[in-house]
Structure 1
Amino acid sequence: MLNERILITGSKGFVGNSLTSLLKSKSFEVFDVGSSNTLNLCDWEAVKNIPKSEIIVHLASKSFVPDSFKTPLSFYNNNILSTLNILEKAKIDGAKVIFFSTYVYGTPIYLPIDENHHKSPKNPYTQSKLIGEELCEAYFRDFGVPVTIFRPFNIYGAGQKFPFFIPTVISQINNKAIQLNDSRPKRDFIYIDDVVEAVHLSIIDNDKFFRIYNLGSGVSTSIKDIVDAIINLSQSKARVHFTNEIRQGEILDTIADISKIQNELNWKPKISITRGLRLTIEYFKKNRDT
């Protein structure tokens, strides 16, 4: 396995950077494509000339949900066409694809949410990811391209940046007041190290099938509890004020059913929310100016 070449798209992003570091530490040969500034994944002529790899981890995408409402054409074009090109490249090279999707379930019908739960995209970003999933399944069905799809819930951790929720709160802990909207929503937060370990296990598993896995902790934590924990762990004197503004279509609770990935890849999260928040706060303290 260690002599296999792995291509990572989006290698300079939050997940990509951590995954690249992990795989290189385990002596994998990693070829990384950082962003569209280095190689346009929507350009088939550019993609087909990428050196051959045995495994392609496709992380690159436009992902900030509010922007997907502002520029839907850009999101659909980028996320769908890049995925199509990667799948075609994998077909030609005989490579396995690991595709990062997103939370696709909308308002839960039941909890915890398994991979068979009804899918209900609420924005152009999520819709583009679901179309990407369908393309992955089609390439497996029609051409035998092995694909593992990960559906991460709320990834957080060292290296994540504004405007995501936890970095936004941590950036305000030295203020006198932290102002947030709704304290009620609960989310399943998964630490970055656990996420990239799941990818590593998928790589060494080397199956030739089509698989979909949730990535979460199996535990939900409220926005209020997250903020309180950050304040306590950082020994901040900031006070939190919730405006009680409720977003339209707000989902109040998500919990991932992770039994499938536990059974098939022998993966389970190792980092608790308290430890993960502590590690994230320590990272921000060391990297205030970066």
Structure 2
Amino acid sequence: MGLSEKTILITGEEGFAGRHLLDALKRLNSSMVSLKDQNGKRVDIRDKDLIRGRKRELEDIDIVYHLAARTAVNSSYESPHATYETNVLGTLNMLELCRLCDIDKIVYASSYVYGTPQYLPIDEKHITSPNNPYSKSKLLGEELCRSYHEDFGIKCIIFRPFNIYGPGQRADFLIPKIISSLSSGEVVVRDPEPKRDFVHITDMVDAYIKGGEYQGDFDIFNIGYGKSYSVKEIIEKIISIYGSNIKVGYEGERRKNEIMDCYADTAKARATLHWRPLISIDEGLQMMVGNQ
């Protein structure tokens, strides 16, 4: 059954990925349900009583896309309690909602949880060794999904995105930060060397949709482009597209527990979900710089 015949709830629908997923599901004519109170205010996913109070209204849902989370690595060090409370307790509450309302399936947005790579590219069998509070909180969420699947039969599809980018992303993320600096004539970042696997939001949303359609009971998928680029390479690509002389500076500051290179093995998602990334880094950057 396609998603056009499903009733769907997205948590984090006002966030970067959530907005794009919501628009895509509306184009598929899915029936969308919002987790808001009678005054139109978003319900706090950390509050189990508020969520339980919506039980009767939410019993017809087929799929929950659980995207709501605190996502910043730096702030997870500054506010670990808030990170764990939102990401772990919020996930637990959404799984409880699935259990109480007999919701068949949850699609969970996890994160990069592998720590320093033992080998490249990284497949789903790679040891998980998260090295910051944010990724540790997401791995705890995965374990909750596994537990609710084993104990209560809830179907759980877990995505481990590498570095998502695209239009509408917060300005404190790397690519939007670089692009927003172009008009000043100078780009300053901390460290030119770390390499990351960048996947465009359009491809990420396509994976979410295929995950919603997937008939498996429990599975985990890496989502990335399958190639890594350094911060320096990304800056050079953006400046080349922009077409002006831009001064580039580096602060010489390396993040705590920095991972110097990582990129995804997406063979499982390609084979099982029939998903593959379509937008190259050059195409994605061209679209973002062109929209400035």
The TM tier, using the shorter chain, reads over 0.9
The correspondence for 1:222, drawn from 222, 230, 237, is 230
Equivalent in the alignment of 2:58: 51
CA drift of 1:119 comes to 1.1
**Are the aligned partners of 1:150 and 1:215 in contact in 2 as well (CA < 8 Å)?**
yes
**Are the aligned partners of 1:55 and 1:96 in contact in 2 as well (CA < 8 Å)?**
yes
Q: Deviations over 1:86-109 (max 9, x none)?
A: 111112323200000010011101
CA drift of 1:42 comes to 1.4
Paired residues for 1:251-266 under 5 Å: 251-266=259-274
State whether structure 2 residue 163 is matched by structure 1 residue 161: no
Equivalent in the alignment of 2:44: 40
The more displaced of 106-115 and 48-57 is: 48-57
The more displaced of 207-216 and 8-17 is: 207-216
Note closer, same or farther for the CA distance 1:278–1:110 as it changes in structure 2 (3 Å cut).
same
Q: Match for 1:273: what amino acid?
A: I
| In 1, Cα distance between equivalents of 2:163 and 2:204 | 10
Identity of paired residues, percent? 41
SS of alignment partner, residue 12 of structure 1: coil
CA drift of 1:249 comes to 2.5
CA drift of 1:259 comes to 0.3
| In 2, Cα distance between equivalents of 1:44 and 1:203 | 25
Note closer, same or farther for the CA distance 1:34–1:166 as it changes in structure 2 (3 Å cut).
farther
Q: Match for 2:128: what amino acid?
A: K
Equivalent in the alignment of 1:64: 72
Paired residues for 1:1-290 under 5 Å: 1=2, 2-33=4-35, 38-48=42-52, 49=54, 50-52=57-59, 53-92=61-100, 93-205=102-214, 207-283=215-291, 285=292
The more displaced of 130-139 and 173-182 is: 173-182
| In 2, Cα distance between equivalents of 1:45 and 1:249 | 37
Q: Deviations over 1:151-180 (max 9, x none)?
A: 000000011121100011001111232122
Q: Deviations over 1:205-249 (max 9, x none)?
A: 2x2411000010001111111001111111132121223333342
Note closer, same or farther for the CA distance 1:34–1:151 as it changes in structure 2 (3 Å cut).
farther
Q: Deviations over 1:25-74 (max 9, x none)?
A: 01111123489951011112221215231000000011111111111111
TM-score for the superposition, normalised by structure 1: 0.93
Question: How many equivalent pairs are there?
Answer: 283
| In 2, Cα distance between equivalents of 1:34 and 1:100 | 20
**Are the aligned partners of 1:10 and 1:32 in contact in 2 as well (CA < 8 Å)?**
no
Note closer, same or farther for the CA distance 1:208–1:114 as it changes in structure 2 (3 Å cut).
closer
| In 2, Cα distance between equivalents of 1:90 and 1:249 | 36
| In 2, Cα distance between equivalents of 1:129 and 1:247 | 20
The more displaced of 232-241 and 212-221 is: 232-241
SS of alignment partner, residue 189 of structure 1: strand
| In 2, Cα distance between equivalents of 1:87 and 1:120 | 24
Structure 1: tracts of 5 or more residues without a match: 286-290
